[in-house]
Chain A
Amino acid sequence: MTELQITDAKVDKKIDLLLELAPAPQLSPELHNKISRNLTASLRPVKPLPVTRVLVGQFGAIFLLFAAALIAMMGVTGIRTLDAWQAFGILAILTLGVLLLSVILAWQIRPGTKQQIPAKLSWACFGVGFLSGVALLFPWREGEAFVSRGWPCLLSGSAVAIPGGILFWLLTRRGVPLSATAFGGTLGAIAGLLGVTVLQFRCIHQDAAHLLVWHGGVLVLAIAAGVLVARVLEPGIRWSRLTIGGKRTREL
């Protein structure tokens, strides 16, 4: 009968106590000295990574500059065909997207950061925002030559996304992303967004179906490519420059 009276709370209390009392394993002096020696051998002052809002500002500014340069090169014929509401709406969606993805990227490159929105959820949020914004703002027209007009957009958007991805990868190189999937996907998303932004200014086919499939496709492709590349290169992208006392850690 005693067994039946044991409550979960009582067992939990015992477990808590046992866990708190579990003795920590002791380190041998040799191991301790070896670790200390290895660390102090290459010890030099380092400049800490800037705070999140500074990183977000940097990413936003670089995005803006790069997008402006590409738009200047590729033209603005597309944005001229839009009315004021459409232009304001799509620019607001793109701006919010840049801000959101910059914040997520800044969180990704610093271990132990409080991530209020998981990376995958942020991609989904932006995707849903983009889809619903385009569906509401732009007209649904009968699609003539849907594929032949569409694939050049997919190609040129992807062509913009590739250098964009490389640029943001260079910008985040000082960081230490721990999740390859989240980091690669976010990097891909921000590069894809760059492609979508340039297309939005350039493309003259401003109807909902075209934008959703061919411009949205750039975003999907870029995220998928980002995840794939990061997973293939992992863990090299994180710890490739891991050197102690002039030696690569693999040599130690």
Chain B
Amino acid sequence: MKIVVCVKQIQNPEIPPVQFRIDEEAKVLIPVSGLSPILSPYDEQAVEAALRIRDKAGKDSDIEITIVTIASKGARAVIKAALALGADNAVLLSEPTFDGSGGYVTARNLAETIRAIGDVDLILTGRQAADWDAGVVGLGIAEILDIPAITFACDVQTTDGVVTVQRVLQDGIETVEADLPALVTISNELGKVRYASMRETMRAAKKPIKEWMPEDIGLDEAQVGSSAMRYKLERLYIPVNDTECEFIVGNTPAEIAATLAQHLREAKLI
């Protein structure tokens, strides 16, 4: 069984807000200097989901896990990170005009990459990339490939050509299954991911990484980057927050609580 996990490299989404900068003129993120890009957290969990499927199938299973990413430049570090977790091999679509081309183009280009890999049974993506927070690409790939998609998974299992997914609802969990090939998007409820072991990290250095250019998979200029985009970024900015906080002080918790309760009463909030 062939599993493809789509991963994106991003800037760590949990940096202190004071470090977060954008160039409003160019409408781009200014990367924090000295900070290496990471695997988007939900994508890391998607890798984990694939590894759990393989663990369950046992050592002698025929499960092959392929990492797929599209980047303008320098995605090797995150590919290595995914391989060090235990994936078998990787495909990097190097597309110089890729940055900022948006979910529509990304989904189309990823779908073509997956077609070129061939005979993929299960595709895993994150529920959303933790940079633009869109949540579009996974469902887009499934629509383009015309396969079923199950979103917001917290558990993924496969048996006899069927994928069974526990998916998160607003007020509960539902179990959904579909025949393979299928696509599943992974949510944070999947839980903790494993650490890369020393052994896998050493092995990762020798795992095959294929680097493709768009023309290698039959994508022409009109299908990549800005020429294929269906959206335009008009503005990118950091919203200002000018709330003045009034600190409530007192000698005892009771005194502080009384003052707060009084304030809330005066403001007709309670």
A and B, one complex?
Answer: no
Residue positions of B touching A, CB distance < 8 A: none
